[in-house]
Structure 1
Amino acid sequence: MLRRHRLDFLIAAGLLLLPCLLFWQVLIGGRTLIPADNLFAWQPWRSFAAQQGVGVPHNELLSDLLLENYVWKRFILESFHAPGGLTNRLPLWNPYLFAGTPFFAAGQHSALYPLSVLFYVLPIPYAYGPFTVLQLWLAGVFMYVFARTLGINRFGATVAAVTYQLSAVMVVQVVFTMIIAAMAWLPLLLALTEKVIQQQRAGGSGKTLPYVIGGAVALGCQILAGHVEFTIYTLLVMGFYAAWRIARGSGCQPDLRSAIWLGVMVILGVGLGAAQLFPLYEFGRQSFRQGAASYQQVISWAYPWRRIIAFFVPWFFGSPAHHSFFDVFSGQVVPVTHDFYGQPIHTIYWGVKNAVEGGSYLGILPLFLALIAVIGRRGQGSNAEYQRSRGYVWFFLILTLVSLAFVFGTPLYRLFFALPFVNQLRTPFRWVFPYTFSVAVLAGCGAWYLSGTGRRTTSAQSPFTGVNTQRIIGWPVFWAGVLGLVLLVGSRFVPGVVIPLAERVMLSLAGAPNAFADGRMFYSYEFVNLLIFGLFLVATGAVLRVSRCPIYLPKWLGGYAVWKPLALAVLVGDLFLFGYGFNSAADPRLLDFKPPVVKFLGQDDGLWRFTTFCPKGEPTFHANAGMFYDLSDVRGYDSLISKQYADYMGLIEPQGWLQYNRIAPLSDP
């Protein structure tokens, strides 16, 4: 068995290596994913920023990891170390926020999630790196397993796995550890769903039980990750997939048994996660979110249509981690200092959605591989393997289109909004998760179609694609990229024309004048983005075209068709270029700094709570920061806040920050 699966183990090792390389600084570099430098963007830490050697924070958008997840993990660890029995040590109640609030019931702390053990055995700042790497690895391995379960060959499964684990929806969501943990399990759950159905149709009821138990454990882990919104997405996709597979059955009895077994799997999985799910349900019913937003408000938070550009040019709208730009005319890297109106800024971002919510990039090559999967081979009726695969292609194409319709807030979203409990969700853009998953599967299928049935098969010889499919797609993509690069580079030599034109375009785009000083800066920044897009268009076209050629690696390297490693290199290079440097790699010693005001407040050992007075709206001693030092706060920042408490605070002062999950500081003297 080991020998037969040796190549699978090597691929799994490669899927581990990729996130290790992407996050090497927080694995072996003595750094932490916690954006500790963000503390020094707010008072009272800001007054000591220069003393601590902190300049502009690397990525201020990632503060949730600092203000929520980090303080949650500290609180859990302190609770586990508390004296007394188990009841005393379980972190059921948080006395530090909102005049006291349920803690364990809120769920997003992932206290019971199996891989959270890393935070209990390692120093918390150093645990985030290994946790993130393992979650991305699991996402990749589980996607590989699912693709192989569908019958996709190893190369196609590897393409699907890499696309999924390094996609934008994974990499930019690292700030939310519970989200990347929750997303990792969907491929495995669908793989086990598929195996249950396959076993039942083969008449093997005795062999079904291990898959049911495995699926229940996987679903339990997904629930314990602690983000119920992603549990809803996961269950909906599972249900949609199972219903489609059962509906395609050839007989009633086997499919009825499949439905029963899958029902048992879900019930057992929910049972395993019940310790977290049921308290969360009870708390959610009492939260301020219940009925707080109308349908029209919710769809207003969907992607605007212009956001579709970021599906192809991911940083077109900027990045909170970009604090300088390359001036293509002077050849110098220039720091960001002010916008068009002269207001000081230190980063480039002008998207309507922030960069975490707007993460939708999967690379250029996977999009065209997915297109090849959809086109397939017309008139191919004799190949049973091909015909079987077409059903999967149509399913994931439909899921892709439905997900996009939800992401962009089309009227179709009403179908989802009408479901029970969904009216508490304000995030239609998070359907980018099923979209990413679906396109990754389609990309794997497209790579399988091109690679055929053997390691030396070219796409021209593959029984799964049309004779000219690759050429029809590959050449236009290649030459479109070449033409775009020629025009782009040529524009660099007529600054008198392009700079005024760029400035007019900039002024016509909502938000752009707040991110760029002038047309030259706008042109230079987007020049680099479009240059990268053009280069990967050319690379994608070249891969598709070379896939037709009988060019092979030497036998000592496996003798594979050369386009396969070339395709993987293009895919990995594209996603690494996108993802590297977005997340923090901060000095963990910054977390140990204690401002003098904290020492002063700590001298009072009585019962008291503090709040802050911020008449200009600028946060001072940010909500949740008091938990760093065991200080009790009137305010707080969490996705679940008691409606009763929110209403009470609203009597003192209007709570305009509730839409951001915060009880606001005082601002009216």
Structure 2
Amino acid sequence: MTTWASRCARFGRRHGFFLLITIVLVVLSYPAWIHTGVPGTDDLSNLNIPQRQLLKWFYDNGRWPLWNPFNFGGQPLLAAGQSGPLYLPNIVFVLFPIVFATKLSYVLHEILLAVGMYALSWHVSRHRVAAVLGAVCFADSGFLVGHQIHTQMFDAMSWLPLIFLLFLRLHERFTRRRFVFLGLAFAMEVFAGHPQITFYTALFVVLYAALMWLWSPSFQALKRWFFTLTAFALGGLLASAQLIPTLQLVSYSDRADVSKSFLLLGSLPWSGLLQLLLPFAAGGGYTSQPFTVNHFETLYYIPNFWEFLSYAGIVFLIAAIATACWKFIKDRTVRTLAVIGVFTLLLALGSNTVFSHILTDVPVFNLFRVPARYVGLTDFSLAILAAIGFAQLLQASSQRTLRVLITSTVSVLIVVLLGVRWIGPYVKMTPAGFWVPLTLLVLLLLIIVVSFAVPDRAKSWLGYGLAVIAVVDLVSQTYSMSQFVEWEQGHFRQPTPLQKFISTHLSGPYPFSRVASLGTNSLMLDRSAINRIPSINGYDSLVADWYVRDVNLTWRDRTFLSEPRQFINALGVEYIVTGADAGGLTSSSQGVAKWMHWLPRLKNTSSLRIVMGAHHTVIDAYAPLFSVTLQSGSHYYTEQISGWPAPSYVIPIPKTWPKTAATKVTITSQSWQGTFNVKTVQLFTSHGTVSYNVNRTFGARVWKKVADFNGVTVWKNPNPLYAAWVTSPNDPLHPDYGTAKLKAWTPNQQSWTVNAGHSGEFVLSQTYDPNWEATVDGKKTPVTRISSMLTAVHVSRGKHVITLNYKPRSFQAGLGISLITLLFSVILLLDGSSVRNMVSFKNKSTPRRN
């Protein structure tokens, strides 16, 4: 303990002041998290803060956050992972009010980021000022500025510097404590909840190890790198409680088989590289013109600017490029970082390079979208290279070759800026956004040229001068740009009037009566989870493939509106909320909603035909039109018709259909808007054709406007809704076989009393997931998917008690593995001796030396 205390005291005396400067600079660069406002732009309101509010509710009620009943009609919460349900720092959301907890979480991760990057930069440069510069360069980089709105991404990326530092130290000398600490740090990044960043971290260290071995291959070196990388296996095992459920969900999610165009959506355009030089070309900062999304899109052809920010300081960029050129041949570490930086930048360009095949065809790479996010690894490499370069510039006897390379780099960048100023869309950039960076480059060129004329012992002023310029430039840019998270203020403390109205008026068993949100409003995406309002909406997360095919109220409204009204009823949608940008539903109908007729026995009848009239007002070629339902005793059969009305439709009669009893045929409008005409229903029999006149104009069933909130309209479903029912497997959306009543409910368990008039399917108005288990009267019974995405359990005729439990075996197995690995890690941690019998790892040289 004395040794440990003395080490800490010595570290504090040596690095405390510089660490304090680093932390202050980084925290002040993100003023939104120390202001009095409530940042709520985009994903902060749409996903991240609502899910953490929901997480608090689970833990306050003493329940595992396994199943989220409030979004997507039901979704695996822990497996999706984006809420960080097992991430230890998220305890702040349990202990404190949501706004304070959010700000505290960001500030703590900024400090983690600053300290980790300072320590890493010190490790590779052995210069405290250079360590400060490297930390500021990465912590204030465009990637982290933009991804403030992705809480789990910001959290996960904050661990990258510490993980890489522990990786380097473990490679230098393999001890059990270092091995465990690296595994724990990587596990924390996994628990933070963003698999893409976890993959980026693993990719970076694997590339680093592979390239370092490639420059000097030997069996002994291979063994050393192999044992170093095994610490990541330990981290994966520690995080199994999160990792295994996530991998299981991936297997049946929409990410298991996505199109190449989807994976490449969000590729950084070549023009986007100019952001490395021109942070305020689209306004903001020192330009005196406000930054606008439209201006950014005009310049770079991309609207979601936060995904494409990459500025890491023009001085830092120059230092990194010059260092890479200077040390590329002689220094393996610099060479490796330069190659990784260029490679990840090419990956960020995505569809604009031949490397797009890696992103679409190579396993694991093809699980993640928005290639522009790879620029985070480019910024990380750039920051480390800049720290190494500044360590040389800050010495009195700085290398003449390095200064020559800096001069050449600045000259080239000046030519580049002058060359693009009057090309294409760049003529529309803000004048100050161009002239200020150009003036800065000219100033740098003059400073460096003058430095050649001063004595060697005075040359350190060059490095310190450049350091001050670099910090002022980047911190001021980050300070200005990072405040975009406050463009929209979050409504997290109190529910909005719309949320209050829906919470009050939802009827039926909770949480099976739901709302659907179309357009922009306070219930869109995951926002309903803040107040635990059941919804079929949900935001960008791992979600079952069948939800995406049939509802998909994440990216667009079209999929939802292409479903028949009968299916929407089965999902328990009691209210639909339409924003001003989503249009309205039908508030008045010019036709009937349903037509019924009894047909004689259908002996020798093969099919029936619905003959349509010529006139209709249907405008959507993909929207539902009508359904035809046949009923005879306990037999049901329904056919759904969609699209523009055709001249006629032929409905086949099932071969098992009763031939000796009458059949009721029902035509029901499933249309959302528009009218259509049905002339006749014809039966095809062995004796000819029998026609029945219909001559009806059908219109959409009227939804009633019940409230309006500043252009956001609330519509009430006129149809009766059921949380669960018993029905025929041939027609699962008709609740005609019996009744079901909710007996008890918690998010992970529910119990129902059922009275079935016939043997059939108990259908639950909830999105199916394979991890639900059911018992009928205490006997285990399979849970199946019915009507594409609903949950079903087979029941026999009579009264039953059905109990459903959400028990993901993947979580149970993962939790067991995590606990066993944690125990193993504690045992290793208590013994810090070197593992000499594995491999000799002692290497006192710093990583940047050969």
Bucket of the pairwise TM-score, normalised by the shorter protein: 0.7 to 0.9
Structure 2 residue 58 is the aligned partner of structure 1 residue 79? yes
How far apart, in 1, do the equivalents of 2:394 and 2:546 lie?
60
Contact 1:450 1:465 survives alignment (8 Å): no
How far apart, in 1, do the equivalents of 2:356 and 2:74 lie?
36
Unmatched segments (≥5 aa) in structure 2: 1-6, 563-575, 584-671, 674-850
Q: Name 1:14's counterpart in structure 2.
A: 21
How far apart, in 1, do the equivalents of 2:451 and 2:14 lie?
22
Q: Name 1:583's counterpart in structure 2.
A: 484
Q: Name 2:313's counterpart in structure 1.
A: 363
CA offset at residue 471 of structure 1?
4.8
Which of 258, 269, 273 does residue 292 from structure 1 map onto?
A: 258
Q: Assess, with a 3 A threshold, how the Cα gap between structure 1 residues 258 and 346 changes in structure 2: closer, same or farther.
A: closer
How far apart, in 1, do the equivalents of 2:291 and 2:30 lie?
25
Contact 1:79 1:91 survives alignment (8 Å): yes
Name the stretch that deviates more: 189-198 or 393-402. Answer: 189-198
Q: Assess, with a 3 A threshold, how the Cα gap between structure 1 residues 423 and 146 changes in structure 2: closer, same or farther.
A: same
Structure 2 residue 101 is the aligned partner of structure 1 residue 127? yes
Which of 359, 362, 367 does residue 419 from structure 1 map onto?
A: 362
Contact 1:612 1:620 survives alignment (8 Å): no
Superposed counterparts of 1:136-535, under 5 Å: 136-199=110-173, 208-248=175-215, 252-253=219-220, 255-294=221-260, 296-317=261-282, 326=288, 349-350=297-298, 351-353=300-302, 354-376=304-326, 387=330, 390-409=331-350, 410-452=353-395, 457=396, 461-463=397-399, 465=401, 468-473=404-409, 476=411, 509=425, 526-535=430-439
Contact 2:82 2:194 survives alignment (8 Å): yes
Contact 1:551 1:562 survives alignment (8 Å): no
Name the stretch that deviates more: 209-218 or 349-358. Answer: 349-358
Q: Name 1:70's counterpart in structure 2.
A: 49
How far apart, in 1, do the equivalents of 2:170 and 2:345 lie?
29
Contact 1:293 1:426 survives alignment (8 Å): no
How far apart, in 2, do the equivalents of 1:394 and 1:168 lie?
24
Sequence identity (%) = 22
Name the stretch that deviates more: 541-550 or 623-632. Answer: 541-550
Matched residue SS, 1:376: helix
Q: Assess, with a 3 A threshold, how the Cα gap between structure 1 residues 151 and 263 changes in structure 2: closer, same or farther.
A: same
Contact 2:45 2:490 survives alignment (8 Å): no
Contact 1:135 1:181 survives alignment (8 Å): yes
Matched residue SS, 2:485: coil
How far apart, in 1, do the equivalents of 2:132 and 2:266 lie?
34
How far apart, in 2, do the equivalents of 1:71 and 1:645 lie?
20
Unmatched segments (≥5 aa) in structure 1: 36-61, 83-87, 200-204, 327-332, 337-344, 379-385, 489-501, 513-521, 554-558
Name the stretch that deviates more: 134-143 or 587-596. Answer: 587-596
How far apart, in 1, do the equivalents of 2:187 and 2:450 lie?
45
CA offset at residue 399 of structure 1?
0.8
Q: Which amino acid aligns with 2:48?
A: N
Q: Which amino acid aligns with 2:36?
A: G
Q: Which amino acid aligns with 2:441?
A: L
How far apart, in 1, do the equivalents of 2:26 and 2:130 lie?
19
How far apart, in 2, do the equivalents of 1:361 and 1:169 lie?
8
Q: Which has the higher strand share?
A: 2
How far apart, in 1, do the equivalents of 2:450 and 2:177 lie?
43
Q: Which has the higher helix share?
A: 1
Deviations 1:181-220 (A, max 9, x none): 2112222222222222222xxxxx5xx2222111111111
Deviations 1:402-448 (A, max 9, x none): 11211112112323443323323122111101111111112112212
Contact 1:67 1:624 survives alignment (8 Å): yes
CA offset at residue 588 of structure 1?
6.6
Matched residue SS, 2:114: helix
Q: Which amino acid aligns with 2:319?
A: L
How far apart, in 1, do the equivalents of 2:246 and 2:83 lie?
12
CA offset at residue 603 of structure 1?
4.0
Matched residue SS, 1:73: helix
TM-score of the superposition, structure 1-length normalised? 0.73
How far apart, in 1, do the equivalents of 2:200 and 2:523 lie?
36
CA offset at residue 135 of structure 1?
1.9
Q: Name 1:571's counterpart in structure 2.
A: 470
CA offset at residue 609 of structure 1?
3.2
Structure 2 residue 37 is the aligned partner of structure 1 residue 31? yes
How far apart, in 2, do the equivalents of 1:464 and 1:283 lie?
56
Matched residue SS, 2:37: coil
Q: Assess, with a 3 A threshold, how the Cα gap between structure 1 residues 156 and 609 changes in structure 2: closer, same or farther.
A: same
Q: Assess, with a 3 A threshold, how the Cα gap between structure 1 residues 551 and 275 changes in structure 2: closer, same or farther.
A: farther
Q: Assess, with a 3 A threshold, how the Cα gap between structure 1 residues 164 and 613 changes in structure 2: closer, same or farther.
A: closer
Contact 1:377 1:465 survives alignment (8 Å): no
Q: Which amino acid aligns with 1:541?
A: L
Name the stretch that deviates more: 98-107 or 573-582. Answer: 573-582
Q: Name 2:536's counterpart in structure 1.
A: 634
Contact 1:168 1:360 survives alignment (8 Å): yes
How far apart, in 1, do the equivalents of 2:24 and 2:124 lie?
25
How far apart, in 2, do the equivalents of 1:437 and 1:315 lie?
21
How far apart, in 2, do the equivalents of 1:139 and 1:174 lie?
13
Q: Name 1:645's counterpart in structure 2.
A: 547
Q: Which amino acid aligns with 2:537?
A: R
TM-score of the superposition, structure 2-length normalised? 0.59
Highest RCO, 1 vs 2 (Cα 8 Å, sep ≥ 6): 1
How far apart, in 2, do the equivalents of 1:159 and 1:303 lie?
27
Q: Assess, with a 3 A threshold, how the Cα gap between structure 1 residues 664 and 261 changes in structure 2: closer, same or farther.
A: farther
How far apart, in 2, do the equivalents of 1:117 and 1:274 lie?
20
How far apart, in 2, do the equivalents of 1:283 and 1:418 lie?
21
Q: State how many pairs are aligned.
A: 551
Q: Assess, with a 3 A threshold, how the Cα gap between structure 1 residues 552 and 427 changes in structure 2: closer, same or farther.
A: same
How far apart, in 1, do the equivalents of 2:163 and 2:491 lie?
40
Matched residue SS, 1:181: helix
Q: Which amino acid aligns with 1:396?
A: L
Matched residue SS, 1:160: helix
RMSD: 3.8
Q: Which amino acid aligns with 1:11?
A: F
Deviations 1:40-73 (A, max 9, x none): xxxxxxxxxxxxxxxxxxxxxx311112111111
How far apart, in 2, do the equivalents of 1:646 and 1:12 lie?
47
Q: Assess, with a 3 A threshold, how the Cα gap between structure 1 residues 96 and 9 changes in structure 2: closer, same or farther.
A: same
Q: Assess, with a 3 A threshold, how the Cα gap between structure 1 residues 600 and 21 changes in structure 2: closer, same or farther.
A: closer
How far apart, in 2, do the equivalents of 1:657 and 1:422 lie?
33
Q: Name 2:816's counterpart in structure 1.
A: none
CA offset at residue 267 of structure 1?
1.5
How far apart, in 2, do the equivalents of 1:335 and 1:225 lie?
31
Deviations 1:258-289 (A, max 9, x none): 23422431121101111111111111111112
How far apart, in 1, do the equivalents of 2:31 and 2:370 lie?
32
Contact 2:516 2:535 survives alignment (8 Å): no
Matched residue SS, 2:182: helix
